[in-house]
């Protein structure tokens, strides 16, 4: 190095040090970030790393155990299937860990590092597969780019909401609460205080993993990632089978409904069931193409894992049975029966750990359903399952129309907005049927059978109970429906006369339908102040109070009570914030059941005190709503409640919504 080069090097380093000193000095006096904001941003980065990292570990594990998937599917599709398989295997391992060795942050940290080390090659390949998106995006038309912008906007807003404190109702009731209980108690054991303990919990195992390392928000990021993988695989499949135009519309058909798009940030199991529904469809269709048994057995394994997410994914089996017989044909009924039996056995084995858990704890493999067991006594079961069916005969015959038009999030009945495009576009999948190739006819027929059987079972089940009409229970067949919608749009797009291009009109209508949800999503996102919360401009407490109102203030009040306090809740189901010091009224039946068990309000109070409860949180507004709308309660029930509350010391009245009473006896 000559003198001139040394001088240049010295000047360069000196210049950098000078600029850096000025920048640091300016930052010190002007303080662009407070320590709290820096900590908050670092927490966001860590929660993102863990939530997405655990999903990638599962994808890598699936790739390690099932390399054949990569050989048969395009990279974007294989991403999702591998993750679904990895979630199933790792989720069951975490479950067995929880009921044996137990849980701790140290155990989960070791598990994360060990998996990352041994699966490092597969992790790299899993992330490399995402590059396949770039080549497709580069070739997108203006219409497709418009839809892509909307999709990425929804993914961004839902991702940001995932990193803010959890707000979604059922997550605060049990999806996140169960994971929190397991971590606080150091493992999985029977939890009579929360009957939802008896539901399958495969996704909750992944959320427990995430929560142990980075908190509740990381668990929601993990579930958000499952949704992203589902949409990516749907996009990749339709792009390969039909066109990029069909791919974007297929994805948008699922995201046009606010309930589906916003639930990406809820931490619910809906998108996990959609992921398994799509993966199941892909393997079943692959088996129909190649007729190799291993593909049918993998689809059965995916079905078993899906049932480990939600019981009602069994509707996939109801669709698979006719597909198996149809594929074998009339001349091979015995072979079809053999395949159905093996298929069912594999699915049952993959699902059985959750049944065994329930049976050992309560004697009922399907606890808390079907018959009284464990903490689910006859009165609670009567109230939970005894409601009359919602709607009328029109909800059986015209179910797709009714679920689409009358399904509104938070309202009675279907309780979910699924958007208009699934129903609007799917009928056009049959345009030009005779001109389609045999391969195209096959996957469309598979999608149609799964969709049709899904609707038939939904329609029949919906006439037996108010709960069973809810859309969220049947999301497993929605990927098949979305495939029909994407293909239907692509078929309709090609209809034209000498004067009118109907495809352009349809494109405008699709954008219009999607823009409604984009606008609504943006308004809600802005109102909540999500970004302000993430960057520290708004406190997390204020964020929760703004969204949850009096509930958050009630939780803050409970948090100020002594640590040995035990709070019993009436008509409040959400216990995430105060567990293990509170017992929520998870299916709003405690007063109904206890009054019938003990006979009088005085005896109920004696038993509450004997059980160690020190305080009562009464959700006044909810009780008033139930009194006006639920005929299961008698006037005597409400008179007994009013008499009981008058005898208790009132400690706090929170916005005339919640009342906190003392249950302690004073001499």
pLDDT band of residue 1 (cuts 50, 70, 90) is: low
pLDDT per residue as tens digits for the range 553-576: 999 999 999 988 999 999 999 999
pLDDT band of residue 432 (cuts 50, 70, 90) is: confident
CA–CA separation, 76 and 63 (whole Å): 13
Q: How far apart are the first and last CA of the chain?
A: 92
Nearest to 36 by CA among 649, 550, 541, 557: 541
pLDDT at 498: 67
Least confident of 328-332, 371-375, 430-434, 614-618: 328-332
**Tokens 């053999």 identify what position?**
338
The first and second tokens of residue 129, run together, are: 């597969």
Q: Is 666 exposed, middle or buried (0-12, 13-18, 19+ CB in 10 A)?
A: exposed
Residues 320/285, Cβ–Cβ less than 8 Å: no
Least confident of 209-213, 247-251, 329-333: 329-333
Give 242's DSSP letter. T
Instruction: Evaluate if residue 666 carries a pLDDT over 60.
Output: no
Instruction: Evaluate if residue 547 carries a pLDDT over 60.
Output: yes
Interior angle at CA 128, CA 126 and CA 134, nearest 5? 125
**E strand intervals along 505-602:** 567-570, 582-583
Q: Residues with Cβ < 8 Å from 496, sequence gap 6 or more?
A: 502, 503
Nearest to 183 by CA among 161, 145, 149, 215: 215
For 607, other C-beta atoms within 10 Å of its C-beta total 13
pLDDT at 6: 77
pLDDT band of residue 434 (cuts 50, 70, 90) is: confident
What kind and span of H or E run contains 652?
strand 650-654
CA–CA separation, 240 and 258 (whole Å): 28
CA–CA separation, 475 and 313 (whole Å): 8
Residues 336/325, Cβ–Cβ less than 8 Å: yes
Average pLDDT for 615-619: 94
For 630, other C-beta atoms within 10 Å of its C-beta total 12
């Amino acid at each position: 190095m000559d003198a001139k080069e040394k001088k240049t090097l010295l000047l360069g380093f000196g210049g950098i040090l000078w600029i850096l000193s000025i920048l640091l000095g300016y930052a010190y006096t002007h303080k662009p970030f407070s320590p709290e904001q820096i900590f908050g941003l670092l927490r966001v980065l860590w929660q993102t790393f863990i939530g997405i990292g655990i999903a990638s570990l599962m994808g890598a594990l699936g790739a390690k155990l099932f390399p054949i998937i990569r050989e048969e599917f395009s990279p974007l599709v294989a991403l999702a299937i591998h993750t679904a398989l990895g979630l199933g295997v790792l989720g069951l391992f975490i479950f067995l860990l929880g009921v044996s060795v137990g849980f701790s942050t140290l155990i989960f940290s070791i598990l994360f590092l060990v998996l990352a080390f041994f699966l490092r090659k597969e992790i790299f390949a899993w992330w490399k597969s995402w590059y396949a998106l770039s080549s497709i995006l580069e070739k997108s038309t203006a219409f497709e780019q418009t839809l892509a912008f909307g999709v990425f906007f929804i993914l961004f807003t839902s991702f940001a909401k995932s990193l803010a404190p959890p707000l979604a109702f059922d997550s605060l009731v049990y999806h996140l609460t169960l994971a929190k209980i397991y971590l606080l108690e150091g493992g999985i054991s029977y939890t009579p205080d929360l009957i939802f303990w008896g539901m399958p919990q495969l996704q909750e195992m992944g959320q427990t993993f995430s929560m142990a390392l980075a908190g509740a928000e990381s668990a929601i990021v993990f579930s958000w990632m499952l949704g992203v993988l589902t949409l990516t695989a749907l996009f990749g499949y339709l792009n390969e089978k039909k066109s990029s135009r069909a791919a974007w519309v297929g994805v948008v058909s699922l995201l046009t409904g606010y309930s589906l798009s916003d639930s990406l940030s809820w931490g619910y199991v809906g998108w996990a069931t959609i992921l398994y529904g799509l993966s199941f469809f892909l393997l079943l269709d692959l088996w129909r193409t190649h007729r190799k048994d291993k593909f049918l057995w993998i689809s059965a394994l995916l079905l078993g894992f899906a049932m480990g997410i939600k019981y009602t994914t069994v509707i996939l089996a109801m669709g698979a049975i006719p597909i198996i017989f149809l594929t074998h044909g009339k001349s091979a009924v015995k072979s079809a029966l053999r395949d159905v039996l093996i298929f069912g056995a594999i699915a049952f084995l993959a699902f059985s750990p959750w049944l065994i858990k329930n049976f050992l704890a309560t004697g009922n493999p399907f606890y808390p359903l079907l018959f009284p067991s464990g903490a689910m006594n006859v009165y609670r079961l009567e109230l939970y399952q005894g409601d009359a069916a919602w709607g009328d005969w029109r909800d059986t015959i015209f179910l797709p129309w009714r679920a689409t038009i009358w399904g509104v999030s938070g309202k009675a009945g279907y309780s979910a907005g699924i958007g208009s495009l699934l129903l609007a576009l799917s009928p056009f999948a049959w345009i030009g049927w005779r001109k389609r190739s045999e391969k195209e006819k096959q996957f469309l027929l598979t999608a149609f059978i799964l969709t049709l059987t899904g609707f038939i079972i939904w329609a029949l089940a919906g006439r037996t109970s108010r709960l069973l009409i809810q859309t969220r229970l049947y999301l497993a067949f929605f990927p098949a429906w979305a495939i029909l919608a994407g293909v239907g749009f692509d078929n309709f797009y090609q209809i034209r006369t000498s004067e009118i291009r109907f495809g352009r009109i349809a494109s405008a209508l699709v954008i219009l339908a999607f823009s409604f949800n984009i606008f609504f999503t943006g308004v809600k996102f802005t109102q909540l102040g999500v970004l302000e919360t993430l960057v520290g401009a708004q406190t997390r407490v204020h964020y929760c109070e703004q969204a949850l109102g009096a509930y958050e203030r009630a939780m803050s009040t409970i948090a100020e009570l002594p640590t040995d306090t035990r709070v019993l809740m009436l008509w409040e189901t959400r216990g995430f914030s105060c567990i293990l010091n509170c017992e929520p009224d998870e299916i709003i039946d405690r007063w109904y059941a206890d009054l019938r068990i003990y006979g009088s309000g005085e005896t109920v109070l004696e038993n509450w005190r004997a059980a160690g409860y020190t305080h009562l949180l009464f959700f006044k507004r909810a009780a008033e709503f139930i009194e006006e709308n639920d005929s299961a309660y008698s006037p005597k029930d409400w008179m007994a409640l009013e008499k009981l509350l008058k005898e208790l010391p009132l400690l706090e009245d929170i916005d005339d919504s919640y009342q906190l009473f003392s249950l302690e006896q004073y001499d």
